[in-house]
Amino acid sequence: QITLKESGPTLVKPTQTLTLTCTFSGFSLSTSGVGVGWIRQPPGKALEWLALIYWDDDKRYSPSLKSRLTITKDTSKNQVVLTMTNMDPVDTATYYCAHSGGGGLRFDYWGQGTLVTVSS
Amino acid sequence: QSALTQPASVSGSPGQSITISCTGTSSDVGSYNLVSWYQQHPGKAPKLMIYEVSKRPSGVSNRFSGSKSGNTASLTISGLQAEDEADYYCCSYAGSSTYVVFGGGTKLTVL
């Protein structure tokens, strides 16, 4: 049974750096073809892909946010960490992590999401 | 503005069929058979309904089907049920630089 759960601050101030952790179970991020991605959703708006890290440490980022994002993994802890610098109120959103597997690009298991509000 | 274009809303009566379109470009939908569709109920995480254009994950009803023609992918739901009322998002691989793009979402209302 694959599960993922996001954790991190619910409130950050403008210009601060956000650090979110995705803790998962039921799969290994050292298995060929497996990845973990981050997707966010501002209130009432659409999904937006942020970043993806694969079992071989290949990392992919949204071109529009690449300069602000860093994704890393700790295979021994079953965790993936996303950092986003220089937070702005427009970054207020629910942040999801999701499992990508099976060789194709699909997000087949999702965490429950965590709402992050950016406000002074 | 989302990279993939979806209608903002569609509606249908129970038992009917509806189709949601997802229009991209030759750099994403048109070039790769890596289109997926997600269902999202209010306050819930998205759920994978279709992957690789037309494949259904285990446990997803066969009332859901996907297809693609040129730069446009489509999700069809047949035999509409009240529980199908939700937001639906398409997603596509977009090459090694852009990588992943989502659509703007479509709100399905079951009348």
Is A102's pLDDT higher than 90?
no
Subunit contact B101:A49, Cβ cutoff 8 A: yes
CA distances, B89 to each of A3, A10, A27, A45, B3 (Å): 22, 26, 26, 11, 12
Total H helices, total E strands in chain B: 1, 9
Question: What is the CB-side half-sphere exposure of residue A63 using CA atoms within 13 A?
Answer: 9
Q: Please state which architecture CATH assigns to domain B9-110.
A: Sandwich (2.60)
B99 to chain A: which residues are within 8 Å by CB?
Answer: 49, 52, 60-62
Mean pLDDT, residues A23-37 taken together? 96
Q: Please tell me the predicted confidence (pLDDT) of residue A43.
A: 97
Whether pLDDT at A6 is above 70: yes
Q: Which residues of A touch B45 (CB under 8 A)?
A: 96, 110-113
For B34, which residue in chain A has the nearest alpha carbon?
Answer: A105
pLDDT (tens digit per residue) in B1-17: 668 999 999 999 999 99
Interface of A with B (CB under 8 A): 37, 39, 46-49, 52, 60-63, 96, 102, 104-108, 110-113
Comparing alpha-carbon positions, the chain B residue that sits nearest to A105 is B34
* A23-32: average pLDDT: 96
CB contact under 8 A, B98 and A110: no
Segment A37-53 shows an average pLDDT of 97
Q: Specify the pLDDT at position A103.
A: 72
Grade residue A24 by pLDDT with cuts at 50, 70 and 90.
very high
Q: A108, B102: Cβ pair inside 8 Å?
A: no
The 10s digit of each residue's pLDDT in A47-100 is 999 999 999 999 999 999 999 999 999 999 999 999 999 999 999 999 999 999
